[in-house]
Amino acid sequence: MERSVVAAKPVIKVAALCGSLRKASFNRGLLRSAIEICRESINGMQIEYVDIEPLPFINTDLEVNGTYPPVVEAFRQKILEADSILFASPEYNYSVTPPLKNAIDWASRPPNVWADKPAAIISTGGGLGGGRAQYHLRQIGVYVDLHFINKPEFMLRAFEPPKKFDSDGNLIDPEAKEKLKQVLLSLQAFTLRLKQ
């Protein structure tokens, strides 16, 4: 009697980066919610938060014989090992934040560990909900060879009713959580497609 073998769905490893360093940041809250949604209702995908705060300002004087400072090497390894990337990108002066740009630049140094990875962007804030920062991040992604999902977009206007976040920066709006889940599912499907 032959046993039927069912191939296990591969686990997608996602590195999650937040452009805000503030502990109660709403954008950091989006990532906490994404991790929770993934754990509770998306099989075959794991999100790991990767902290960019310890990274020094990029400076090629810190590169010695083709190596980088240990904290930079550790960060680059996390990106290299990830199957895809999830950016939570607040908008500062119509663009991405300095800490996020710094992290992107470090990981783009030879060899570029962003290359050929699928990615998604989520953002929240006033005005357009971080939309202009997202478009700048997409432009940067062209050069570092990231492949962003196009739909669905997630730009959450944080200060319009109903209340979206609690006092600790945690996402509490059910509709926003559902939209966030759809982004994660799209990233998962796109990652699997590119892997094939």
Q: How many distinct structural domains can be found in the chain? A: 1
Asked, for residue 5, whether it belongs to a domain, the answer is no
Asked, for residue 159, whether it belongs to a domain, the answer is yes
- pLDDT band at residue 66 under the 50/70/90 scheme: confident
Q: Per residue in 136-178, pLDDT tens?
A: 999 999 999 999 999 999 999 999 999 999 999 999 999 999 9
Asked, for residue 7, whether it belongs to a domain, the answer is no
Asked, for residue 3, whether it belongs to a domain, the answer is no
* Residues with Cβ within 8 Å of residue 37, at least 6 apart in sequence: 177, 180, 181, 184
Which residue range(s) make up the domain with 17?
12-195
Asked, for residue 24, whether it belongs to a domain, the answer is yes
Spatial separation of the C-alpha atoms in residues 154 and 35, rounded to whole Å: 16
Question: pTM for this structure?
Answer: 0.94
Q: What pLDDT, on the 0 to 100 scale, is given for residue 122? A: 98
- pLDDT band at residue 9 under the 50/70/90 scheme: low
Asked, for residue 115, whether it belongs to a domain, the answer is yes
Cα angle 137, 154, 129; round to 5: 75
Asked, for residue 1, whether it belongs to a domain, the answer is no
What CATH number should be reported for the domain holding residue 107? 3.40.50.360
Asked, for residue 2, whether it belongs to a domain, the answer is no
Q: Which helix (H) or strand (E) element contains residue 37?
A: helix 26-41
